[in-house]
A and B are shown apart, each in its own frame.
Chain A
Amino acid sequence: MTTSASLNSKNAPAGDSPGTQVLATPTLNVSHRDRAMWLEVGVEQWLTIHRELKATHPRLEWLTATHLMDDTFEITSHLTSPDAHDGVVIRCTTTDGGVASLSELFATARYHESEMQILCGITFNGLSQPHPFALVSDSFPLRRDFALLPRTQRPWPGAVDPDTAARRRPSLPPGVFPEWSQ
């Protein structure tokens, strides 16, 4: 399903600055919340939607990635207008661990993409000269299956139960998932 989104006062919540803009790039979903417009696009439109929005929203506030499973990542970026009054949050989902790099459009994208590349293991196609990070890890720490070893190894004081007669299933400490037990 594709819809064209328009940034005008009819769609924006009350109090937002009126402006009219019709987007040419097809989007999957549009919503408004928190004084920003939230767009969801297919991974093929990632670069074109940013190229189109750069004219009115030239500031890249941040770019981040969330690991969902295997090689599926949800990439999110936040663009703002020059006075930072108007914001757009753009999201896409990639299933093969790769997405186009925005470093040609936004200089600050280089830093965020390098960080996600080294922490999640995503590939940003077109990111030349990634920013060097001092990461000491043999794996990708921001992936869901990366176990926080100190949390699994350190005995959890909350496992104590004063009522010795009650037989309860031993609980896991917060932040430890059963899939991690190796």
Chain B
Amino acid sequence: MSSIASPIQVLEVGLACCGVEASAATLITQAHDTWALSNDPTLSQHVLVIAGTLTHALANNVQAAFDSVLEPRVVIAFGACAIGGGPYWDSYSVINGADQLIPVDIYVPGCPPTPSDLVSALEQAAELVRRASS
């Protein structure tokens, strides 16, 4: 398998408050050579960040986001809602955790976790992608 070009592109699915912290992560490291939050649709993404509460109404969209991220892919569940429903675990509309839908590789606890928590997780994820592709 050919090695993947740096920086590794990251697709961030911002569903709720954690999405704000995830966006703030780009402000901490605007030019990063290991990973980059992706806005360019022509570049292929290998890391998926689920940041926020998953609802039944958006389940198909999250699944589509997962399918659009290429192998080798790493999924990060960012925040309590993405890990297991968070404070909304008892709601009629909430899916308790991204791993009810898709396989998750890194769980970042917090409500919300800090942007630097996401930066550490992204560095881990980039390393996993690189190892899987070499």
**A interface vs B, CB < 8 Å?**
134-137, 141, 146, 148-151, 175
Contact = CB atoms under 8 A, between A and B. Distances in A.
Main secondary structure of the interface of B (DSSP, over half): loop
A107 B91 CA distance: 30
A148 B90 contact: yes
Contact of A175 (B56, B90, B92): B90
Contacts of B91: 148, 150
A135 B96 contact: no
A134 B57 contact: yes
Contacts of A148: 90-92
B93 A151 contact: no
Given A136-B56, A150-B96, A175-B90, 8 more contacts: A134-B57, A134-B58, A135-B57, A141-B92, A148-B90, A148-B91, A148-B92, A150-B91
Pairs A-B, 7 closest by C-beta atoms? A134-B57, A136-B56, A150-B90, A141-B92, A151-B90, A148-B90, A136-B57
A137 B93 CA distance: 8
B93 A141 contact: yes
B4 to A, nearest CB: 35
Nearest to B58: A134
A150 to B, nearest CB: 4
Interface string B85-118: 1000111110010000000000000000000000
25 contacts: A134-B55, A134-B57, A134-B58, A135-B57, A135-B93, A136-B55, A136-B56, A136-B57, A136-B93, A137-B92, A137-B93, A141-B92, A141-B93, A146-B92, A148-B90, A148-B91, A148-B92, A149-B92, A150-B85, A150-B89, A150-B90, A150-B91, A150-B96, A151-B90, A175-B90
Interface residues of B, number: 11
B86 to A, nearest CB: 12
A150 B89 CA distance: 7
A149 B92 CA distance: 8
A135 B93 CA distance: 7
Contacts of A149: 92
A135 B96 CA distance: 17
A165 to B, nearest CB: 33
A12 B92 CA distance: 42
A117 B100 CA distance: 30
A27 B55 CA distance: 42
A146 B93 CA distance: 13
A3 B93 CA distance: 44
A141 B91 CA distance: 9
Nearest to A150: B90
Contacts of A146: 92
Most A CB contacts (10 A, CB to CB) among B58, B85, B93 go to: B93
Nearest to A136: B56
